Amino acid sequence: MTRDLRVAALSGGVGGARLLHGLERCLPPGRLTAIVNVGDDLEHWGLSICPDLDTVMYTLADLAPVARGWGIEGETFHALEAMRRLGAPDWFALGDRDLATHLRRSEALRRGEPLSAVTAGLCRALDVRSNVLPATDDPLRTHVETRDGRTLPFQEWLVREQAPRVARIRLEGPRRPAPRVLEALERADVVVFGPSNPYVSIDPILAVDGVRDACRQKPVVMVSPIVGGQAVKGPLADMLQDLAGRAPAPAAVRDHYGALVSHVVVERGEAAGLDGVRVLEAETLMTTRERSRVLAEALLDHALGNVR
């Protein structure tokens, strides 16, 4: 059933995109706006790469493999192989089809087009129906200070160094909201925080000027990225320990957001410690597109106070 609503959803890559796919199917065309993290973005092989925007775009275009979540289904890596032979760094795997995205984006950015306009153009070309916005057109970047004293740009920390233990996350760069970001939040009936990494996906969006204040005016529903005491994927469990001194649990994520979050969706039986928010227990593992849709539908009903 589609709902006559406007939804703004903050998203990182894979976790956020899985939920966005479900939300899109619950809403009339154009009513979903994804506000996407750019803290992960990098320059590699001379190209401008936006991993979270690309994951969201490919997922909503039904190009992403459902299980892996990122990249393009059936992708090949001939260019990577050729680059390796030429001595180029090969720790960040860019697929052959994926390269077309980065080539187009890099060319447009070099011409002076803002990232938001470039993203809109790519989404149009790929028939994405929802609005996909970078949180900012500015080069806002996440850096990770590790316990062993290094400071690394996000992708070097995550991919090249395989996520060594963290002492601190640092955001660097200007942070003006991209066009339509604040407007989308102001017009939204519900704001959704996808089950994205709170430290390195959602925080860099909330750090953009005006975003946190705009969220405060709305019901905000978060989906827990922690299921069964573990991150579904990625380094979040260790990060909660390292940055908050907390065992991985939905309540640790909610406490990170504090009073900003009014509604929480957690896996069944995992509502422990969630006081002062409205909690829905549901099946939160989005292993199929249908599961994403069912979860999104329950989440919207929950946020709107509809009894199920």
CB of 110 to ligand GDP, least distance (A): 25
Based on the shown chain and the rule CB under 6 A, indicate whether residue 159 belongs to the binding site for ligand GDP: no
Based on the shown chain and the rule CB under 6 A, indicate whether residue 137 belongs to the binding site for ligand GDP: no
CB of 112 to ligand GDP, least distance (A): 28
For 203-232, the DSSP string reads HHHHTSTTHHHHHHTS-EEEE-SEETTEES
Query: Tokens representing 269?
Result: 């039986």
The site map against ligand GDP for 276-295 (x = CB under 6 A) is: --------xxx---------
HSE at residue 69, side-chain half, CA atoms within 13 A, is 20
Q: Considering beta carbons, is residue 260 or 285 the nearer one to ligand GDP? A: 285
Query: Which of 130, 155, 201, 262 contacts ligand GDP by CB under 6 A?
Result: 201
Query: Tokens representing 190?
Result: 């519900």
Based on the shown chain and the rule CB under 6 A, indicate whether residue 53 belongs to the binding site for ligand GDP: no
CB of 37 to ligand GDP, least distance (A): 7
Based on the shown chain and the rule CB under 5 A, indicate whether residue 41 belongs to the binding site for Ca ion: no
Contact 190, 5 (CB under 8 A): yes
For 246-307, the DSSP string reads --S-HHHHHHHHGGG--EEEEETT--TT--SSEEEEE-----SHHHHHHHHHHHHHHHHT--
3-state secondary structure of 48: strand
Q: Residue 71: which of Ca ion, ligand GDP, none does it interact with, CB under 5 to 8 A by kind? A: none
The CA distance from 63 to 75, in Å, is 10
HSE at residue 165, side-chain half, CA atoms within 13 A, is 8
Q: Considering beta carbons, is residue 113 or 212 the nearer one to ligand GDP? A: 212
CB of 205 to Ca ion, least distance (A): 11
* Residue nearest ligand GDP by beta-carbon distance: 15
Query: Which of 3, 8, 10, 13 contacts ligand GDP by CB under 6 A?
Result: 13
Residues forming contacts to Ca ion in the complex (CB under 5 A) are 12-13, 40, 52
Residues that bind ligand GDP (CB under 6 A): 11-16, 18, 52, 55, 194-197, 201, 223-225, 227, 231-234, 236, 284-286
